[in-house]
A and B are shown apart, each in its own frame.
Chain A
Amino acid sequence: DSGVTQTPKHLITATGQRVTLRCSPRSGDLSVYWYQQSLDQGLQFLIQYYNGEERAKGNILERFSAQQFPDLHSELNLSSLELGDSALYFCASSVEGFSPLHFGNGTRLTVT
């Protein structure tokens, strides 16, 4: 158990809808990362937050947004969903610097 909690485990929704994925980092970790894993793109970095502030952005679409709250949990919001957004979304947390990222079990999103 990595200590990172992601909910829900599975999400099935229709195109055009909006969903929210939630992540609770390991106790003591200030950084939260979001990754998307799809069959054709592999593991793609989306966005990182550190102690409530956005720290780095990767290949995150404008339809996607995220935030980290004062209690350090994070939410990833996906809107105007398309079939191609179907993927496994991982949240990871770390202490700082080059610390290893510890990943949650992921949320599997299916857009129909």
Chain B
Amino acid sequence: AQKVTQAQTEISVVEKEDVTLDCVYETRDTTYYLFWYKQPPSGELVFLIRRNSFDEQNEISGRYSWNFQKSTSSFNFTITASQVVDSAVYFCALSVFSQGAQKLVFGQGTRLTINP
């Protein structure tokens, strides 16, 4: 069975601090994808990144960076120089292909609060 664990339920930091959101996943599949989604206070779910199981290169997009380590089954997300607008709930998700369908399993989410 697939499982995603986001151990940090809530994180609160002061603006301009760096913050890392942890994500640990479990799957027996060798082919899978990992995702991060952002849910701001307005409620919508916004896609941030997708990474496949064969690509362990870290990725940087502006102030956002992602560290994928298969050896520890982790896909952590770092926000550098955080801003108040980064305040949101962040979800890590794991996708495997099973019986002709993509199954996307979400972690419980981490509520990030950036204080001015």
Contact = CB atoms under 8 A, between A and B. Distances in A.
A56 B47 contact: no
A94 interface: yes
Contacts of A90: 45
Q: Which bracket fits the contact residues of B?
A: 20 to 34
B35 interface: yes
B43 A94 contact: no
Nearest to A41: B108
A56 B91 contact: no
A94 B42 CA distance: 22
Q: Which bracket fits the contact residues of A?
A: 20 to 34
A45 B108 contact: no
Interface string B84-105: 0000000100010111111111
Interface of B: 33, 35, 37, 42-47, 50, 52, 91, 95, 97-109
